[in-house]
């Protein structure tokens, strides 16, 4: 199948590489040419503009945030440059409000639109083992299905309304950040009573909380290994704030989200812009005057 992919950060590059490996003709574009050239070395075709990447049957995008999506598809005119009948699969974690706007804008232009945000870090994406949420019109999803299955271990259908997938993605990321914050605070409590964070985390992640989120982020906390980020802390803040916006729109109370927001902002204020969400451990340690090693 002739496929386009724009947005080649750590996640996008890994996902696009699986489309190449599956034998599809993949055209790629990224603001930074380095990432596009790396995909080209695997067999993709790097193009110079987003509209050239959209001269395909299915266009995938994995952009960083709402503004990046707006810059390319609305302000940059990509939606107007796409031929009717093309299916756009948007993997980005974006606001529910923008998801609705995108669905309407695609429908008005005769374009298919599928929201397909993912759960999984870059290494999971590279292995083709993502859990992918999928929502949109049945026909558009079926057109894209072989491509989605090449990148995911499982597709999770969320109905025919695209923004449902984005709401679920934000709810899931809220739970991830909540788990990390609670583990950071608990580990500091153990440290304050003479138990190392490593010993405490090893116990919890082998017994009561033996699941990937606790194990992956707990190991990073115990080893104080916060770079390179698998889930960058600024993106965590973005997602928590988007979850708050989505909650407010439906009059849903999420008091814990305010706590998470403040911890994330505090981490950024202390220079964690390029760190993983596991760096929330530093915030809890600093608050308890336990800035030394775990």
Q: Could you list the active site residues?
A: 169
Cα–Cα distance measured from residue 235 to residue 216, given in angstroms and rounded to the nearest whole number: 17
Tokens of 43: 């067999």
Tokens of 179: 């788990």
Cα–Cα distance measured from residue 217 to residue 78, given in angstroms and rounded to the nearest whole number: 37
The gap between the terminal CA atoms of the chain, to the nearest Å, is 51
Q: What is the three-class DSSP state of 184? A: helix
133 within 8 A of 120, measured Cβ to Cβ: no
- Token match 């965590």: residue? 236
> What DSSP character marks residue 253?
-
Characterize the bridge pairing of strands 2-6 and 25-29. parallel
Cα–Cα distance measured from residue 245 to residue 252, given in angstroms and rounded to the nearest whole number: 10
252 Cβ contact partners less than 8 Å away, ≥ 6 residues apart? 246
151 within 8 A of 132, measured Cβ to Cβ: yes
């Amino acid at each position: 199948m002739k496929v386009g992919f724009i947005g080649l950060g750590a996640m996008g590059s890994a996902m696009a590489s699986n489309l190449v490996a599956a034998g599809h003709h993949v055209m790629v574009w990224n603001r930074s040419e380095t990432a596009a050239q790396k995909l080209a070395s695997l067999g993709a075709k790097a193009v110079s503009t987003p509209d050239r990447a959209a001269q395909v049957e299915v266009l995938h995008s994995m952009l960083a945030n709402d503004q990046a999506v707006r810059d390319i598809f609305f302000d940059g005119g990509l939606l107007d440059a796409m031929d009717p009948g093309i299916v756009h699969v948007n993997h980005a974690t974006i606001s529910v409000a923008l998801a609705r706007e995108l669905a309407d804008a695609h429908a008005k232009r005769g374009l298919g639109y599928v929201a397909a945000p993912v759960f999984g870090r870059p290494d999971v994406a590279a292995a083709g083992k993502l859990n992918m949420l999928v929502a949109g019109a049945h026909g558009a999803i079926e057109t894209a299905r072989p491509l989605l299955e090449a990148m995911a271990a499982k597709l999770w259908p969320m109905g025919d309304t695209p923004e449902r997938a984005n709401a679920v993605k934000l709810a899931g990321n809220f739970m991830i950040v909540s788990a990390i914050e609670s583990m950071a605070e608990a580990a500091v409590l153990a440290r304050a009573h003479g138990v190392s964070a490593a010993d405490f985390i090893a116990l919890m992640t082998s017994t009561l909380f033996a699941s990937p989120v606790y194990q992956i982020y707990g190991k990073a906390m115990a080893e104080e290994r916060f770079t390179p980020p698998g889930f960058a802390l600024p993106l965590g803040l973005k997602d928590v704030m988007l979850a708050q916006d989505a909650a407010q729109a439906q009059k849903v109370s999420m008091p814990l989200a305010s706590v998470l927001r403040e911890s994330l902002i505090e981490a950024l204020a202390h220079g964690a812009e390029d760190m993983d969400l596991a760096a929330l451990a530093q915030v809890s340690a600093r608050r308890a005057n336990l800035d030394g090693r775990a």
